[in-house]
Amino acid sequence: MKTLQIGIMPRDKFQSRTNEIASGRYKPKKNEPKIWFGSIKSLCEVLNENNMRLLKIIAEQKPESIKALAVLSKREPSNLSRTLNTMARYGIIEIQKTGKNSKPIAKALDFNIQYSAAYYIL
């Protein structure tokens, strides 16, 4: 399983960076994050303790469906579905459709976080 490279950068700086990349003025290095959050707070909303426990259950117990994961995690399926969709959007898990079921698959258990004071203007 891979280690996800995550960056935290204010939205305006991220937009400038994206424009630089799109215009060809900047080429991201291989080791730079591919996943970015606008703040530590938004990162913590996704990688909080409950979601990390959930990720561990997915990786270790490999539930065949969201319903099975709901039983294992003692969480409501509707709430769980929202959380899983958010985690999938960031590449932390994958949701594999199998017939009527959606199977969560862990894509990463380890995270390297890049955060710099250089992104902030005084």
pLDDT 10s digits, 53-82: 999 999 999 999 999 999 999 998 888 999
Average pLDDT of the chain is: 91
pTM > 0.75 = yes
User: Under a CB-based contact definition with an 8 Å cutoff, are residues 6 and 114 in contact?
Assistant: yes
Q: Which residues, including other chains, have CB under 8 Å from residue 27's CB and lie 6 or more apart?
A: 21
The closest of 48, 103, 32, 93 to 72, measured between CA atoms, is 103
Domain with 46 in it: what CATH number?
A: 1.10.10.10
Question: By residue range, what is the domain housing residue 19?
Answer: 2-119
- The domain tally of the chain equals 1
